[in-house]
Structure formats: structure tokens, C-alpha cells
Amino acid sequence: MVAITYRRDPAKALLGMQPAKAADIRAALARVAVDPSAPNNNLRPLKGVPYGFRLRIGDWRASYTLDRATGVIDVFEIAPRGGAYR
């Protein structure tokens, strides 16, 4: 299991959205944190971001980096589908 950290903007995004959707996003990230190597159809590597990944949760996207050496997932963006790719 790895730890999950949220930067300021994603933390604010979670606080500003509907509680049920925020809980879904946190749960999806927690499932990845349990076993980052497990197969996941909603997970894609990010181009141009070393060790970066994008997780699809319905119409929302969570972008993060995974540092296996320290065991930390650093979430740097949570955005709706249209805003996550800009």
C-alpha cells in the first residue's frame, strides 16, 4: 500500500464537488494505492510526465505521479473530462 497526497488544487476541487462524487474519486485512488501494479482499464500513463498516470472516474479524471521508491501517490490534478486535457 502506498500513501496518497493531494496538492492544493485537487484538494480544493474535492471539497467543492458533490460529496458522493468526491467519495467515489477518493475510493478509486485508494484502490490504486492498495496495489498500483494491478491491471486497471481506467488507468493510462501520461505522456511528458515521468511516472505520471491518469485515472478515469466517470466524467472526472485524476492525474497523479507514482513514486515507488518512497511509496507515495501525488495527486496533482482532479478535473472534469473536458478540462483535464488542456
* Structural domain includes residue 45: no
* Residue 37 pLDDT: 87
Tell me, what's the pLDDT at 84? 62
Q: Does residue 43 form part of some domain?
A: no
Q: What pLDDT is stored for residue 59 in this prediction?
A: 92
Q: Can you give the CATH number for the domain in which 15 is found?
A: 3.30.2310.20
Residue 44 domain-assigned (yes or no): no
Domain boundaries, position 68 = 3-35+52-83
Identify which of 60, 76, 65 has the alpha carbon closest to the alpha carbon of residue 11: 76
**pTM, full prediction:** 0.89
How many distinct structural domains can be found in the chain? Answer: 1
Residue 64 in domain: yes
pLDDT number for residue 53: 95
Q: Is 33 helix (H, G, I), strand (E, B) or coil?
A: helix
Rounded distance between C-alpha atoms, residue 42 and residue 24, angstroms: 14
List the pLDDT tens digit at each of the 86 positions of the chain: 899 999 999 999 999 999 999 999 999 999 999 999 889 899 999 999 999 999 999 999 999 999 999 999 999 999 998 766 55
CA distance 29 to 9: 16
Residue 46 forms part of a structural domain: no
Q: What is the pLDDT of residue 11?
A: 95
Provide the 8-state DSSP code for 58: T
CB distance 25 to 60 below 8 Å: yes
Tell whether 40 is covered by a domain: no
pLDDT of residue 74: 97
What is the rounded distance in angstroms from the CA atom of residue 37 to the CA atom of residue 18? 30
Q: Is residue 47 part of a domain?
A: no
